[in-house]
């Protein structure tokens, strides 16, 4: 039976292998060239975020992933409106299929591993189309001028053809972003997905801290950046005004309160410390006497991918809850359509205010939970503007617990899936150490022995890593940050930045000592 399942997936090989893709380098790519490719892709990414979709009515655009935009990169209404969500969703589906043994592939074999990656690329294209089409037919409205111009030539077909034009741009932008991710992974340094997340969060943090312009729609000239706002209010307020409400405005009032800047710095320091925590297994070379090394098992062994997957899962739940409550087609769905307990969304808003979707929605900062628990004065800060809605303290506590639990459990599950599908489990690591000529001192040079030693650490540290980074990401959200970046996105950005720094060091080391390339699995 397993053989039949495997043969079914192999039948897709002629299709998936003919897809446009980025070929890997034939040999070693020089460090300077890797840096150059990484910088070029980063500049291209920023350029694409500023290319608006042609024929789109920006005023009526509803960004379904608005509250997750910092995590999924991209820019609302731009060519990369979909961000990295199709790539992440395709990866989640492939991991679930592999973990549930729906696809029978041995990822330790080069042929099966190549087929797995090619199938995932094919799935990315499908996910781009699946995500682009519903948005164009409900939330990305074509501009009236484009519809009228098309109607003049194709009578009665203006709206449909305008939507097809928008979908085509989303598909092109989404696939270009996917190819850019491949360029960074194969020719550059690190991961394209991580690079795009880091770029978006860094941009948001910079503007959140230093923006001198007032917030959009603001009636005063108070700057929206945390630091300029503080300086402006101190300079333009009397001592009495500061005591009566000025300090409260500086510390707590959105946008970019000073407490957000403080928690941003705290999160940065916490994540930097956690990323440096690790267990190091001593290694020695089997043939070169005196050659020793260490194999690090970091506290964040599974890196940041489980958090990205958990955020993607949360975004999809939020998306479908919104569709079931607001979309006329989905409202007719039995049991779920139009039900308040699935999620309540005000007109034009992508954030739930009640129902199951609200209880697991990300809590953004102290003003959404701690301050309302301390004083009823801040309870109104929980309700979206223009929506009359109130929450009891018990509901607020329940929301914090539900969100925290969702993130930790999701990250735990995705961490175990990620380890199994990326050859980071005990058996795969034992084979990698064996193939590099290294061994653990005091143990026989046998992959089975290495596997038994590693099984004492890797399964435990994988589960702990998933729970820990999920709790850390949720805790960062509870503390909040500046620049529209959620605590989770800030956690991801700091982790990615530290990993990029370590990757740069490793690349330089391999450039100086070519023999290390074999150990790190590089060409």
Q: Residue 372 belongs to a domain with what CATH number?
A: 1.10.3370.10
> Range of 160's domain?
1-189
- Cα torsion 461, 467, 473, 476 to 10°: value is -100
pLDDT digit string, tens, across residues 373-393 = 888 777 655 544 455 567 889
Which among 128, 227, 217 is positioned nearest to 168, based on CA atoms? 128
Per-residue model confidence as pLDDT tens digits over 71-92:
888 899 999 999 999 999 998 8
Predicted local distance difference test score (pLDDT) of residue 508:
79
| pLDDT level of residue 286 (50, 70, 90 thresholds) | low
Checking if the pLDDT of 56 tops 90, the result is yes
Q: Does 125 lie in the same domain as 235?
A: no
| Cα 35–Cα 39–Cα 40 angle in degrees, nearest 5 | 115
98, 182: one domain: yes
pLDDT confidence of residue 3: 44
Bridge partners of 78?
A: 52
207 found inside a domain: no
**Residue 234 banded pLDDT, cuts 50, 70, 90:** very high
pLDDT at 344: 92
CA–chain centroid gap for 456, Å, is: 30
Same domain, 232 and 374: no
417, 492: one domain: yes
**Does 183 share its domain with 225?**
no
Q: Are residues 229 and 169 in the same domain?
A: no
Domain assignment of residue 428, yes or no: no
**Residue 69 within a domain:** yes
Residues 267 and 246 both lie in one domain:
no
Residues 418 and 503 in one domain: yes
Q: Are residues 242 and 391 in the same domain?
A: no
Which pLDDT score, from 0 to 100, does residue 21 have? Answer: 79
Note the pLDDT tens digit of each residue in 352-376. Answer: 999 999 999 989 888 889 888 888 7
Quote the CA–CA distance of 302 and 305 in Å, as a whole number: 7
Q: What percent of the chain has pLDDT over 70?
A: 92
- Domain tally, the chain: 3
Would you state the pLDDT for residue 389? 65
Alpha-carbon gap, residue 199 to 265, rounded angstroms: 18
């Amino acid at each position: 039976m397993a053989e039949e399942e495997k043969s079914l997936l192999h039948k897709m090989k002629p299709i998936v292998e003919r897809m446009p893709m980025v070929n890997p380098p034939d040999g070693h790519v020089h460090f300077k060239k890797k840096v150059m490719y990484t910088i070029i892709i980063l500049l291209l990414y920023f350029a694409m975020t500023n290319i608006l979709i042609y024929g789109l009515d920006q005023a009526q655009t509803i960004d379904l992933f608005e509250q997750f935009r910092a995590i999924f990169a991209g820019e609302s209404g731009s060519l990369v409106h979909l961000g990295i969500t199709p790539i992440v969703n395709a990866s989640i589906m492939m991991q679930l299929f592999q973990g549930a043994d729906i696809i029978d592939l041995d990822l330790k074999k080069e042929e099966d591993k190549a087929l797995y990656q090619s199938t995932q690329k094919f799935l990315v294209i499908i996910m781009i189309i699946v995500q682009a089409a519903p948005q164009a037919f409900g939330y990305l409205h074509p501009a009236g001028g484009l519809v009228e111009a098309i109607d003049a030539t194709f009578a009665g077909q203006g709206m449909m053809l305008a939507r097809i034009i928008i979908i085509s741009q989303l598909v092109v932008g989404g696939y270009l972003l996917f190819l850019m991710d491949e360029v960074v992974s194969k020719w550059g340094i690190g991961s394209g997905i991580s690079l795009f997340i880091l770029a978006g969060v860094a941009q948001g943090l910079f503007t959140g801290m230093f923006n001198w312009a007032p917030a959009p729609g603001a009636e005063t000239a108070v700057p929206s950046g945390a630091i300029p706002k503080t300086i402006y209010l101190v300079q333009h307020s009397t001592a009495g005004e500061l005591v009566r409400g000025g300090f409260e405005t500086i510390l707590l009032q959105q946008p970019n309160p000073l407490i957000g800047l403080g928690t941003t710095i705290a999160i940065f320091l916490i994540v930097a410390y956690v990323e440096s925590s690790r267990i190091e297994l001593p290694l020695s070379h089997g043939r070169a006497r005196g050659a020793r090394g260490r194999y690090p098992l970091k506290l964040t062994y599974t890196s940041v991918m489980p958090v990205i997957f958990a955020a993607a899962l949360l975004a999809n739940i939020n998306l479908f809850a919104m569709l079931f409550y607001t979309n006329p087609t989905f409202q007719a769905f039995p049991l779920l359509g139009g039900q308040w307990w699935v999620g309540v969304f005000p007109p034009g808003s992508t954030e739930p205010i009640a129902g199951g979707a609200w209880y697991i929605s990300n809590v953004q900062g102290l003003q959404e939970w701690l301050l309302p628990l301390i004083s009823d004065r801040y309870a109104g800060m929980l309700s979206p503007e223009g929506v009359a809605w109130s929450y009891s303290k018990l509901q607020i506590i329940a929301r914090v617990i539900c969100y925290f639990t969702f993130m930790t459990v999701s990250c735990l599950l995705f961490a175990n899936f990620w380890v199994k599908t990326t050859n980071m489990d005990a058996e795969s690591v034992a084979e990698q150490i064996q193939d590099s000529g290294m061994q653990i001192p005091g143990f026989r040079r046998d992959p089975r022995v290495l596997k038994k030693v590693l099984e004492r650490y890797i399964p435990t540290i994988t589960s702990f890593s998933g729970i820990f980074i999920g709790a850390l990401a949720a805790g960062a959200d509870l503390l909040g940050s500046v620049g529209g970046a959620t605590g989770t996105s800030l956690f991801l950005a700091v982790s990615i930045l530290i990993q990029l720094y370590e990757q740069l060091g490793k690349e330089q080391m391999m450039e100086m000592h070519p023999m290390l390339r074999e150990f790190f699995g590089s060409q």
